[in-house]
Amino acid sequence: MSASDKLHRWLDILAALLSRRYPLPLSELRREVPGYADESVKEDSILRMFERDKGELRELGVVIDTIPDSDGVSRYQLRKADFYLPLLSVCETLLPSETELRQQPRYGPPTMGGSVPSLVLTPDECHALRRAAARVAGLGHVELAEDAARALRKLQFDLEVFAEGLPAAAVLRVDGDVFDTLTNAVALRKRLRFTYHSMERNETAERVVDPYGLVFLTGHWYLVAHDVNAQGMRQFRVSRIRSAVLGDQRKQHPDFEVPATFDLSTYAASRQSWELGNGDHQTVIVAFRGDTGVVSQGRALGEPVAAPYDGQFAWLGATHSVRSFRVRRRDTFLRWVLSFAGDARPVAPDDAVQEWTALLRASRDTQMAVATEAE
């Protein structure tokens, strides 16, 4: 039996069950599913085949209920509410009179013979979803970050205007004119000049860059560009960019070429929250102990470190490893290290160790204060 035969049976089973509002016995399913319609095959064999199909569909998350009848014949039902996700839509505002839309059905494909519930989102709710996903990603837990990113991709796939529904300029404090200028510069490959306020250095200065692309990460828009003066790749938060202008107004002549080896989606997917920003990288050495799943995922984000660090950390125990990380936002990185609850700690450079120790003490003081209040 080929895989395509099984797939055809599964689709026929779903179509038969979803087109009925009542449970179906196997005898009726045999008439609806061509793969079960061979009269020369005994019903016991068809029943065993159906049970295998039903079990495999259930493993995939299809909720097929078995309903025994008073006559001893089992019937099978797949409720639309258990199978279809709501149809999504975005409206500019959700007035009190429109709240009923959240519960009203919208009609699905005619062949499915029924209605599908809809879920209406406002732009602010779209923004809240993205912000929530960004907060989850910022926790530093690899699996949670991947789950959040996967959820956003699904929303974007099912709802094409999901990103368009965001009140980006108002809520994220992105200047609309600046954003348009950046978009044009990326599309036309034009060199950019702008003033930028760096939080790491607490200074505002003019930047000259070759813009490679725009990405939305951890709840903010970033311009990924090659800094002409620094001769390196940088990420600039768009909300901190002012007075952006094209270096050369002749739109028909590109000022630069994006390297063939550069892929924006891969670059963005590989960025951790502590790597974002336009400051210089600092190498921070972190020692991990144990081999739990969380520790394994954390140390996988860094690079292995050889001597002189090997063998110097008896406190780690027999199972330990040392990794190096390239960090731009050290406060964010050290809070991530703190989340390992003692199974990781920075060991170099000294200023990073001192800052992490201060964070650890502040965290302990806060926990003690909360415990005292609870008593």
pLDDT tens-place string over residues 72-85 = 788 999 887 777 76
Tokens of 256: 């630069």
pLDDT of 307 above 70: no
Please, which pLDDT band fits residue 332 given cuts at 50, 70 and 90? Answer: confident
- Domain ranges across the chain: 3-82, 86-93+100-166, 173-275, 282-361
User: What confidence score (pLDDT) does residue 93 get?
Assistant: 47
- 349: nearest Cα among 327, 364, 316, 318: 327
Q: What is the average per-residue pLDDT within 87-104?
A: 50
User: What confidence score (pLDDT) does residue 218 get?
Assistant: 54
Mean pLDDT of the chain: 76
Lateral strand order in the sheet of 74-77:
24-25, 74-77, 65-68
pLDDT of 209 above 90: yes
CATH 2.30.30 matches 173-275: yes
Q: In this structure, which topology does domain 3-82 adopt according to CATH?
A: Arc Repressor Mutant, subunit A (1.10.10)
HEC assignment per residue over 109-129? CHHHCCEEEEEEECHHHHHHH
Q: What is the average per-residue pLDDT within 162-190?
A: 69
Please, which pLDDT band fits residue 226 given cuts at 50, 70 and 90? Answer: very high
User: What confidence score (pLDDT) does residue 100 get?
Assistant: 44
Lowest mean pLDDT among 115-124, 278-287, 324-333, 353-362: 115-124
pLDDT of 13 above 80: yes
pLDDT of 233 above 60: yes
Q: 3-82 and 173-275: same fold?
A: no
Higher pLDDT, 328 or 65: 65
User: What confidence score (pLDDT) does residue 270 get?
Assistant: 60
Lowest mean pLDDT among 153-162, 311-320, 335-344: 311-320
Reduced to 3 states, what is the DSSP secondary structure of residue 226? strand
How many angstroms separate the CA atoms of 260 and 39, rounded?
A: 61
Please, which pLDDT band fits residue 375 given cuts at 50, 70 and 90? Answer: low
